[in-house]
Amino acid sequence: MSKLHISYNQIHKLISATVDKYQFVENFKPDLIVAIGGGGFIPARILRTFLKSASDRKNIPIQAIGLNLYEELPTHQDSDEEGVPEKPGQVVQKTQWLNFGGSDSLVSLLGRRILIVDEVDDTRKTLAYAVDELRKDIIKQEELRGMKPGESNTQIGIFVIHNKNKEKLGVLPEDVMAHYYPAANMDDVWLVYPWDAIDIDTHTEKAENKQ
Ligand SMILES: O=P(O)(O)OC[C@H]1O[C@H](OP(=O)(O)OP(=O)(O)O)[C@H](O)[C@@H]1O
Ligand SMILES: Nc1nc2[nH]cnc2c(=O)[nH]1
């Protein structure tokens, strides 16, 4: 599978341009970011900078969840190659989730405009899983408050740096797709992100040369 290196600068500028392009501070008005780790953490933090600057409001809180689908492919032991493509596993593994519901609850989801952030939408399995689980939590919280499902009018939107143009294995509900904001739409190549680089200078050079 061919690869494309992406630099920190390219990511930063893409995120900035996307906030302007979709005007989603005005259109979606996110008030809670849920970052899918590990790849969603750095984009979420950069995005928060531009959301704050566009809305002139205080920082939007970022909550973290951990989901894992991809497995490393075996490489030669003496290989020092970076950014080796991985293959998707069968099921998404939940390694970390939101803390809510009990008396020690940290996050109320009800009535929020939740923006899920990840770096890449590939097969879409991870995003579909995240939305599904989040919706279950919203319904649980509504039940706890004696509300019917959907009564709290909690909204979910999605921001990704890269969406790959390909057949998707995961399906997102229509109301979520209405607030789906990819910074860039890409061919189906393996994207090598700067946080996976061992040698960041070589990585950045390749990214600048569109390699
Ligand atoms: O659209 P999909 O095919 O579901 O792939 C997208 C997911 O794959 C990567 O996660 P990974 O499982 O590699 O975990 P990581 O973020 O910790 O690297 C990436 O961060 C997305 O969450
Ligand atoms: N780094 C990286 N992780 C992924 N997870 C799913 N697709 C990709 C990709 O193209 N690059």
Bigger pLDDT: 87 or 202? 202
- Residue 145, pLDDT > 70, answer yes
**Is residue 37 within 8 Å of 117, Cβ to Cβ?**
no
Q: Is 190 in the pocket of ligand 2 (CB under 6 A)?
A: yes
Cα angle vertex 96, ends 164, 142, to 5°? 95
Q: Is 125 in the pocket of ligand 1 (CB under 6 A)?
A: yes
pLDDT tens, position by position, 83-115: 889 988 889 999 999 986 555 566 789 999 999
Tell how far the Cα of 194 is from the centroid of ligand 2, in angstroms.
Answer: 12
pLDDT tens, position by position, 47-79: 999 998 887 678 899 999 999 999 877 665 555
Q: Is 158 in the pocket of ligand 1 (CB under 6 A)?
A: no
Q: How far apart are CA 128 and CA 169, in angstroms?
A: 9
List, as one string, the DSSP characters of 78-127. T---SS--EEEEEEEEEEE----SSTT-----TT-EEEEEEEEESSSHHH
Give the pLDDT confidence score for residue 152 in this predicted structure. Answer: 96
The residue extents of the domains of the chain are 3-75+84-208
Q: How far apart are CA 126 and CA 121, in angstroms?
A: 8
Question: Residue 209: pLDDT band by 50, 70, 90 thresholds?
Answer: very high
**Residues listed for the chain:** 211
CATH class held by domain 3-75+84-208: alpha beta
Mean pLDDT value across the chain: 91
Instruction: Give me the percent of the chain exceeding a pLDDT of 70.
Output: 92
Task: Work out the average pLDDT over 157-169.
Answer: 98
pLDDT tens, position by position, 168-178: 999 999 999 99
pLDDT tens, position by position, 12-45: 999 999 998 988 788 899 999 999 999 999 999 9
Alpha-carbon Rg for the chain, nearest whole angstrom, is 18
Q: Which ligand is nearest to the CA of 4?
A: 2
Number of C-beta neighbours around residue 144 at 10 A: 13
Of 1, 11, 69, best ligand 1 pocket probe by most atoms within 8 Å of the beta carbon: 69
Q: How far apart are CA 69 and CA 190, in angstroms?
A: 15
Q: Is 88 in the pocket of ligand 1 (CB under 6 A)?
A: yes
Of 6, 41, 73, 126, best ligand 1 pocket probe by most atoms within 8 Å of the beta carbon: 126
Tell how far the Cα of 88 is from the centroid of ligand 2, in angstroms.
Answer: 9
Give the pLDDT confidence score for residue 68 in this predicted structure. Answer: 92
Give the pLDDT confidence score for residue 83 in this predicted structure. Answer: 80
Tell how far the Cα of 108 is from the centroid of ligand 1, in angstroms.
Answer: 26
List, as one string, the DSSP characters of 118-140. EEEESSSHHHHHHHHHHHHHHHH
Q: Half-sphere exposure (CA, 13 Å, Cβ side) for 97?
A: 14
Q: Is 68 in the pocket of ligand 2 (CB under 6 A)?
A: no
Q: Which ligand is nearest to the CA of 121?
A: 1
Angle of the 41-55 helix axis to the 8-22 helix axis, nearest 10 = 40
Q: Is 190 in the pocket of ligand 1 (CB under 6 A)?
A: no
Beta strand spans in the chain (E): 3-5, 32-37, 62-72, 86-96, 113-121, 155-164, 180-186, 190-192
Give the pLDDT confidence score for residue 58 in this predicted structure. Answer: 82
Task: Work out the average pLDDT over 140-153.
Answer: 94
Which tokens sit at 103? Answer: 């008396």
Catalytic residue ranges = 122
Q: How large is the ipTM? A: 0.97
